[in-house]
Every structure is written in structure tokens, then in C-alpha cells.
Structure 1
Amino acid sequence: MKENKYFKEDEFKCKCGKCELPKDVPSDELVDVLCEIREHYNVPITINSGYRCKEHNAEVGGAKSSQHTIGSAADFVVKGVKTEEVHQYVLEKYGDKPFGIAIKHNPKNPFGGFVHLDTRGKKARWTYS
């Protein structure tokens, strides 16, 4: 993982607890963008889901071609910032980039849910139901 002052490798490890983080995961580009978002808000970011092995990805219902399985995706929240606000910022700042950007709303908690960001190399936008 690219050296940075905000994130540790453990934050991106698969939640299965069995596998190791592959070499060069997460992608440098993903780390750079997450660091920029962290600096914009000047508060911690929690990575809910980073790399996922194929088995764990299937267990959580991830797409077979999920960017999480190659280490170029993260689902995250920004401490104390509404998820919709973070999503809008990411769309405004990175909307012209070839990234996957999505949101999972939590109707009972505006700080719940998460923003998904991946560096897939083409634009993709969606909302999780």
C-alpha cells in the first residue's frame, strides 16, 4: 500500500479474517483520493469495506466483477458528516473522473450508510437500495 499519513493497511484488509491483502492493494490512486477527501473534511474516514477476497465478496452479495476484489474500491464514511453531503462532494470533485461512485442511504440516520468509490477506469454511478 502506498505510504500516507491517514490510512493503515489493516483498514483495507478483507473482513473474512482468513486472507492476506494482495501486493499493491489498495491502488495508489484510491489512496490518493481518500487522502484528499480526508484533508477536505479534516476529520477521520472509516473504511467499512476495502479489499474483498472472492469468497467474502460472494458472502456479502457483492457483484462478481466487484472492484473490491481487485483492491480498487472502498466503502467509507466521514466522521460527523452526513453521507449525502460526502456523496455530493465526491460527485462534484471527481465526477469527471473514470471512477465508480455510489451511495447507500440510511433513511433513519443521515450519518449512516456509506459512499462507495472505486478507480475502475470508466464512469459508473448508482445508488444501493
Structure 2
Amino acid sequence: MLIENVSDFDADGWRWPHFTPRELACHCGGRFCAGEYWHAPDFLDALEALRADAGQPLIVNSGHRCAIWNSYVGGARFSLHRAMAVDISLAWHDRHMLLAAAEQHGFTGLGLAKTFLHLDRRPRPARWFYPGSETSWRT
């Protein structure tokens, strides 16, 4: 469900203690939208479970993106960031453990970068390397 302004989102009953609507909303800083937020409880359940497995904070570099911000940052035209996807910083994490746990929790879109892991829940599984990141994922 798209919320056009994260400030309008009623967070009463919010059950995901390690994440906030604001950190998952568009990060364009009001340049192109009023802070769009895509509320997806199943996605958040999986993200919270991943956080529990990680045993430490998951830093969200990018969550939902409004159309213009997605284009501005070079996102794919049909990027799932336009609905709900996250790029999680790999700092302080074992990238292989995080990837395996993400798969266990039903994340099916897995983008492997040098400094972050892209996660989404697309209907058909996909895994890809961002340019120049393959060597950082070798075991």
C-alpha cells in the first residue's frame, strides 16, 4: 500500500522494532515527493526476521523510491524500489551469512554489490552482481 507522505502514516500497532517507516520511505529529501512510503507487512516480517538472524542492526541505505528519485539515482525503470525493496549495508556483516539468511526468509531478488545487499520479494527468483562486485562475493 502506497502512502504518499510518511508523516501521514498511522504507525499505531507498528510491530517491527528495528525499523521505522521513515527509514524505509523515499530518501529524496522532499525534492521530488513528500516522503512516499510503501507499507508491506509481509516484507517487514521477513526483514525483521533477517535482523534477528543477523544479531545486529541492518542499515537501510535505500528503501522505497518515488519515480523521480529512482530515475535520479540510476535505478532500473521497473525497479522494485518503486514498491518495496531495500539495499542493506554490508558493513559489520558476514556477507555470505546475510545472503543465506535472506534466502531463508523468502527474499527472492538478491542483488550482490561490494558494499550492500539488495533485497526484494519478486515472484520469480533472480540473483545478480552489480558491476565490479563479483570478486567481493567469492568465498
Q: Which runs of 4+ in 1 moved over 6 A?
A: none
CA distance in 1, matches of 2:107, 2:58: 22
Unmatched tracts of structure 1, length 5 or more:
106-112
User: Equivalent pairs: percent with the same residue?
Assistant: 29
Amino acid at match of 1:125: R
Asked if 1 retains the 8 angstrom alpha-carbon contact of 2:87 and 2:116, the reply is: yes
Unmatched tracts of structure 2, length 5 or more:
1-10, 132-139
Bigger radius of gyration: 2
Q: Which has the higher contact order (CA 8 A, sep 6+)?
A: 1
CA RMSD of aligned residues (A): 2.0
Q: How does 1:23-102 map to 2 (within 5 A)?
A: 25-70=38-83, 72-77=84-89, 80-91=92-103, 93-94=104-105, 97=106, 99-102=108-111
User: Aligned pairs, how many?
Assistant: 116
Amino acid at match of 1:21: E
Length-normalised TM-score, structure 1: 0.79
CA distance in 2, matches of 1:74, 1:50: 4
* Equivalent in 114, 118, 121 of residue 119 of structure 1: 121
Length-normalised TM-score, structure 2: 0.73
